[in-house]
Amino acid sequence: MIIGVDCGLTGAVSFIDEMEGTYFSVVDIPISQSASSSRKVKNEINPSGLREIFATIPVPSIAVVERTSAMPGQGVSSMFSMGDSFGVVRGVLSALCVPIVYVSPMVWKKHFKIGSDKERARALAISYFPTAPLARKKDHNRAESLLLARWYYENRKQ
């Protein structure tokens, strides 16, 4: 299996067949809520739920994780949340001894010529994986996780 991971709180994890490049499954990142010292409830990735997702599939061969970075105009809080999500994904995959390949959004999106248009990403993922559950506009994160896995499938032999 090739695992594609879009790390955000609204991200997704997808699985495609390593030999055929065909769709296997895609699920949203599991989220849990925690209370901070200020009693404010916040969402975060649920590491146990993420581990359970990886445990349900045949032994994966590689995980492709989107490496995001700070962007101008983003708040400190949102950047910390993204970094925390990225760390949880890395930690769970590493604990399961799954090799990880990191790719920046600029690299994989340039490969597919989609830019930052989420609808173009979703349409392209539907063309590659017509049986994947991508019917809703909000499924763009599922689409991106599938395209991350597809990027690796198309570039691994180069």
Hey, what domains does the chain have and what are their CATH numbers? 2-155 (3.30.420.10)
Assess whether pLDDT exceeds 80 at residue 76.
Answer: no
pLDDT (tens digit per residue) in 85-133? 888 999 999 998 899 999 999 999 999 999 889 999 999 999 999 999 9
Q: How many CB atoms lie within 10 A of CB 158?
A: 4
- What pLDDT, in 10s, does the model give residues 16-43? 999 899 999 999 999 888 766 666 768 8
Give strand pairing partners of 44: 32
115: left (phi over 0), alpha (psi -120 to 50) or beta: left
Neighbours of 39 (CB within 10 A): 6
